[in-house]
Chains A and B, each alone.
Chain A
Amino acid sequence: MSPVFYLISAMTVAGGLAAVLFKNTVHCALALTVAFAGLALLFLGLDAQFAGFAQILVYIGAVAILVVFAILLTRGSETPKDSVYSSNWPAGLVIAAGVFAVLGWAVLQSVRFLPNETAVPKVTVLDIGNALVGRYVLPLEIVALLLTAATIGAVIVAMHEKEGAK
């Protein structure tokens, strides 16, 4: 475990915590970007260059921008006068802590059985492309259909309805 890993992990977890805890919604979106960037760096540390750069492109380039647009369109940047947390937040916190306890316990219990291949996988973008149009071509087509349907659906759902128009 290198110091770089600890540094990037601390940045990612801090970004995630800030995204959940900040009062101002725009600040939350910016902290979310930090968490996404940390995750991309973690992917690069795992020798998954393609996934790392796809993470930067899709999450920082598209999802974070979408979130900021949604915040500005819904005027969510105004901090509410009363609490930013829902009325039953203790129950949510207990559930999250319980889930983390179970996951952490499971990881620590299974450390001895986890695989630990030290050889760096030699996978190029060409290999990934060949796999995408070879063995994984059906999932690729389904994802293409899903993305088309989701885009059309999002536009139709968010489209402004004129009064009385049918």
Chain B
Amino acid sequence: MTPLAGYLMVAAMLFAIGLAGALTRRNAILVLIGIELMLNAANLNLIAFWRYGPHPEALTGMMFAIFSIAVAAAEAAVGLGLVISIHRHAHTTDLDNMNRMKG
């Protein structure tokens, strides 16, 4: 197995773990944690392809990963703000109990 394939397999594992967490947990914050894991797995893929692909000096994969980190940080801030707002409104972060569109 080449090094790149090893990194891709680790990223696939992390993505699947994050997806499983996002789909099976009840706490909204843990769903966000799962989404963060999935984003990180994608970043690992970008960096691995940058390192082992041709023309690393063009920095394409690296730039993609850096912008992806910035967007993920914005996503985490807004997502956790929403969770806090929902908790204030409904007094729960349990997603199974959030089944109404109307407050």
Contacts of A36 on B, CB cut-off 8 Å?
40
Total chain B interface residues with beta-carbon distance under 8 A: 74
Number of A-B contacts (CB under 8 A): 245
The one of B19, B54, B72 that contacts A95, using a Cβ cutoff of 8 Å: B19
Chain B stretch 77-103: residues in CB contact (< 8 A) with chain A: 77-78, 80-85, 87-88, 93-96
Give chain A residues whose Cβ lies under 8 Å from the Cβ of B5.
Answer: 107-108, 111, 114
Q: Which residues 25-43 of A have a CB within 8 angstroms of B?
A: 25, 28-29, 32, 35-36, 39, 42-43
Q: Find chain B residues with CB under 8 A from A16 CB.
A: 13-14, 17-18, 37
Q: Using known A-B contacts A9-B10, A115-B4, A116-B4, determine if residue A103 contacts B59 with beta carbons closer than 8 Å.
A: no
Q: Mark A115-141, 1 if CB is under 8 A from B, else 0.
A: 111000111000110011000100100
A139 contact set on B, CB distance < 8 A: 63, 67
Residue of chain A at shortest CB distance from B94: A80
Contact yes or no, A92 B51, CB < 8 A: no
Tell me the smallest distance from the CB of B65 to a CB of chain A, in Å.
5
- Cβ-neighbour of A9 out of B6, B22, B23 (below 8 A): B6
Chain B residues with a Cβ under 8 A of chain A? 1-10, 12-27, 29-30, 32-34, 36-37, 40, 43-44, 47-54, 56-57, 59, 62-63, 65-67, 69-78, 80-85, 87-88, 93-96
A residues near B (Cβ < 8 Å) are 1, 5, 9, 12-13, 16-17, 19-20, 25, 28-29, 32, 35-36, 39, 42-43, 46-48, 50-51, 54-55, 58-59, 62-63, 66-67, 69-71, 73-74, 76, 80, 83-87, 89, 91-93, 95-97, 99-100, 103-104, 107-108, 111, 114-117, 121-123, 127-128, 131-132, 136, 139, 143, 146-147, 150-151, 153-155, 157-158, 160
